[in-house]
Amino acid sequence: MKLGIIVGTRPEIVKMAPVVRACRRKRVPFVFIHTGQHYSYELDGVFFDELKLPRPDHNLSVGSGTHPQQIAAMVRGLELVFNAERPDMVLVEGDTNTVLAAGLTANKLAIPVGHIEAGLRSYDRRMPEEMNRIVIDHLSDLLFAPTEQCRKILLKEGIPPERIFVTGNTVVDELILQKPRALKAVDFNILGVAPRGYAIATVHRPENTENEKRLGAIFAGLRAAAKSLNLPILMPLHPRTRKRVESLGWRLDKEIRALPPQGYLEFLGLQANASIIFTDSGGVQEEACCLRVPCVTLRDSTERPESIDVGANVLAGADAKKIAACARKMIFIKRDWRNPFGKGDSAERIIKIAANYLKTR
């Protein structure tokens, strides 16, 4: 068995890291392929270094561009790599253009596809990620659903039950492994805050950053929440968000303290020690839930409803008053919810399922 492990963005690197390690432990041959969808050191290279991962065997270096341009460049590059390497199965994770391009290319070359994190749905078809999720789930041969709720969604969409496996989410594997290192990675003296004496915020989705009204309401809500909770908000700025803030001529004040993009360990440590988290990121919603830190999601919908169901998360959208009100509510909740995203053995289960599938072909 030879697996093709595909990554392209920061979250994919983190969530595929346990799969790479599981392959090494089990002595499963694999080819590690990076599309280069994220390409700066802050959003890419630092993660290979911090997580002690091997450098990819192939990097397509597609960089930025429109969605069709990115996907087309990836498909062209991946076809050449797949034909040269001939993996027995391609594993993809999540909902990015990288996932869609790799799944389509493998499918057209008659290479089985395994989709890690299958069955997530926000039911907001305006999101490019939502369409990517739907397409990749319906062309994949194996679907690794993180939760039972995701499995039920896939069954309702007509996917045969024998192709679906509930494995938990590999984000839990990596979080459990790296949390001890992460807790030592933050220098609170430099940041000028104390553990539990601050909040964290991340905003990067185009539906928020490219809409001036929404983005303005989010910042207004964060400022109101900071004043109401008497907590500074530390905000690592995604390059897209920083560029947008600068183009609008906005200045962040003492309530919202801008930080450069953080490495995985630093950011995980910041999350673990925060009093509350504000985010429009799906992965951060999962991590906050696993770390038992209350989360306020700055979106109108989420593909991680399990975090809401257990009481760890709440949707506030881009309404300034609602953001502040949700913050006041969530800051006082008990952090005793159960973790719905797995036990930390997802990667091992995925590799075993893939191996059994390939034996029977």
Known catalytic residues? 204
- Measured CA to CA, the distance from residue 12 to residue 56 in angstroms comes to 13
Sheet hosting strand 233-236, strand order edge to edge: 256-259, 233-236, 199-202, 276-279, 295-297, 313-315
- Measured CA to CA, the distance from residue 179 to residue 265 in angstroms comes to 8
Residue 312 contacts residue 287 (beta carbons within 8 Å):
no
How crowded is residue 127: how many other Cβ atoms within 10 Å of its Cβ? 18
- Measured CA to CA, the distance from residue 345 to residue 342 in angstroms comes to 7
According to DSSP H, which parts of the chain are helical?
10-26, 46-50, 67-85, 97-108, 128-139, 148-156, 170-183, 188-191, 206-209, 212-229, 239-247, 264-272, 282-291, 305-309, 320-330, 346-359
The residues, any chain, with a CB within 8 Å of residue 333's CB and separated by 6 or more, are 294, 311
As a whole number of angstroms, the longest Cα–Cα distance in the chain is 60
95 membership: H or E segment, kind and range: none
Which two three-digit tokens encode residue 205? 């989705």
Sheet hosting strand 142-145, strand order edge to edge: 58-59, 30-34, 3-7, 89-93, 113-116, 142-145, 164-166
Nearest to 173 by CA among 353, 351, 355, 344: 344
- Measured CA to CA, the distance from residue 16 to residue 170 in angstroms comes to 7
Residue 336 contacts residue 310 (beta carbons within 8 Å):
no
Give one DSSP letter per residue of 244-271, joined into a string: HHHHTT----SSEEEEPPPPHHHHHHHH
- Measured CA to CA, the distance from residue 195 to residue 271 in angstroms comes to 10
Residue 277 contacts residue 199 (beta carbons within 8 Å):
yes
